[in-house]
Amino acid sequence: MHDKTLTELAAGLRAGDFSSEELTRACLERIAEHDGTLNSFITVDEEHALAQARAADARLRQGEAGPLTGIPVAQKDIFCTDGVLTTCASRMLENFIAPYSATVVEKFDAAGAVMIGKTNMDEFAMGSSNETSYYGPVRNPWNPETVPGGSSGGSAAAVAARLVPAATGTDTGGSIRQPAALCGVTGLKPTYGRVSRWGMIAFASSLDQGGPIARSAEDAALLLGVMAGFDERDSTSIDRPVPDYTATLNDDIRGLKIGLPKEYFGEGLEAGVAQAVEAALDEYRRLGAEIVEISLPNTHLAVPAYYVVAPAECSSNLSRFDGVRFGHRCEEPEDLEDLYKRSRGEGFGAEVKRRIMIGTYALSAGYYDAYYLKAQKVRRLIRDDFLRAFEQVDVIMGPTTPAPAFRLGEKTDDPITMYLSDIYTIAVNLAGLPGMSIPAGFVNGLPVGLQLIGNHFDEARLLNVAHRYQQVTDHHLQGPAPYV
């Protein structure tokens, strides 16, 4: 069962070929067998998962099943889950049992999905390699000596290794798309506001967005249909109807105009990745699409703007973790100042501290206008570049990452080089656009991702364009040798 897509598993459950309990037990057995190597899970909740599976089987027998009823799903450990450990991969929250569930978790529960556990991630979603986790790095199933990407690396690795058919992720600057690319799976970051952030522990509130990670665009369409929707508890949630994302998957894409930003094919892009993207574009030409060269002239400003905006918001959001109300608390503090300093010093890792310091500096008196305000103005320029491009084209394509997965430890001592791993993804978050990464081939045995970017709320088109490509290629069906 482990090599079936979510769509195939859903069909098998409805047909009675196997039960949700059997499927859930199979996933739990694979996690027990393989996750010692991968470290993709922080928490596996066997008792809760089997209880949900039995409830799903009852719904299936009564003919009340939806598309995800009985399907095991992993939640990134940034989503609060009632009664279950929610750590954000940080020592700060190593003992935090959430007293409520995030909206995304509630939606999966209502759909009858089975929560198998919580996946490992970069601490507080800050990282591009999944090496900043308090629980140790996640390893890429294609080569355990390489990173899976971050911050949703645990979710991507678990799906790639067939431990679970699907998982959730969050994307602040590429944290769904980048690990999806490096692990050879499909990942979708929806339009900002399309998926509720309520109960999702905040990193940078104007950038964070939850989304699905699965093996195919068809699977991602089913997942997004459950995750998306207005939530009055989230002030950034958009009150807009949710379409049936599966209804247009097979639409003809002849005449589709694909924009190719010239800025995405310059210095820093590995030749093998460029060749894989070109081969994917050739497939789209054969499907009847037209390739149009476009320019996104402010692309080079995306990384510096992001690394002012995101740390500033992170500095504000993480100020609540002070050792007083919840989270890690130091032993025997001498006074309140000592409590704050030692609790935060012990609870946060190096990368989180770095970003808090940068953000606090950018927001400090005398620097707000020079840094944060200017970064927000640049953000508007980047958004306007995309909107002008979408007057000419339907979809924008390019590489998801400049190179395949790099080796563990290779960039940990060079934060700037690490930050540049997200050079093609960050602008999408700054503009609030939907983007996705789909498998597009291999370089030296490691997966390469093709990035698709759409206009606001154009997820259905992205899924359609991705699905048509996956109908004529098999990159998304290939898996790492030890796990297939």
**pLDDT tens string 352-408:** 999 999 999 999 888 888 899 999 999 999 999 999 999 999 999 999 999 999 999
What is the average per-residue pLDDT within 246-271?
96
Contact 96, 85 (CB under 8 A): yes
Which residue out of 151, 152, 216, 437 is catalytically annotated? 151
Q: In what order do the strands lie in the sheet with 395-399?
A: 41-44, 114-119, 72-76, 166-170, 210-214, 186-189, 435-443, 446-453, 395-399, 257-261, 290-294
Residue 420 has pLDDT above 90, yes or no: no
Residue 414 has pLDDT above 90, yes or no: no
pLDDT at 418: 86
Which residue out of 133, 175, 343, 437 is catalytically annotated? 175
Global pTM reads 0.97
Residue-averaged pLDDT of the chain: 96
Contact 293, 260 (CB under 8 A): yes
SS (H, E, C) 97-129: ECCCCCHHHHHHHHCCCEEEEEECCCHHHCCCC
Kindly indicate the confidence band of residue 269, based on its pLDDT and cuts at 50, 70 and 90: very high
In this predicted model, what pLDDT tens digit does every residue of 171-216 receive, in sequence order?
Answer: 999 999 999 999 999 999 999 999 999 999 999 999 999 999 999 9
Q: Which of 5-14, 224-233, 408-417 has the lowest average pLDDT?
A: 408-417
Backbone angles phi, psi at 226, to 5 degrees: -85, -40
How many CB atoms neighbour CB 282 within 10 A?
A: 11
Q: Is 175 a catalytic residue?
A: yes
Q: Is 76 a catalytic residue?
A: yes
Quote the CATH superfamily of domain 6-256+392-483: Amidase signature (AS) domain (3.90.1300.10)
The residue type found at 261 is P
In this predicted model, what pLDDT tens digit does every residue of 104-131 receive, in sequence order?
Answer: 999 999 999 999 999 999 999 999 999 9
Instruction: Parse the chain into domains and list their residue ranges.
Output: 6-256+392-483
What is the average per-residue pLDDT within 331-358?
95
Kindly indicate the confidence band of residue 325, based on its pLDDT and cuts at 50, 70 and 90: confident
What is the average per-residue pLDDT within 310-327?
92
- Which residues in 443-460 are b (16+ Cβ under 10 Å) and which e? beebbbbbbbbbbbbbbb
Among 174, 188, 430, CA closest to 298 = 430
What is the average per-residue pLDDT within 323-351?
94
Which residue out of 19, 40, 76, 343 is catalytically annotated? 76
For residues 96 and 250, give the distance between their C-alpha atoms in angstroms, rounded to a whole number: 44
Q: How many helices (H) and strands (E) does the chain have?
A: 15, 11
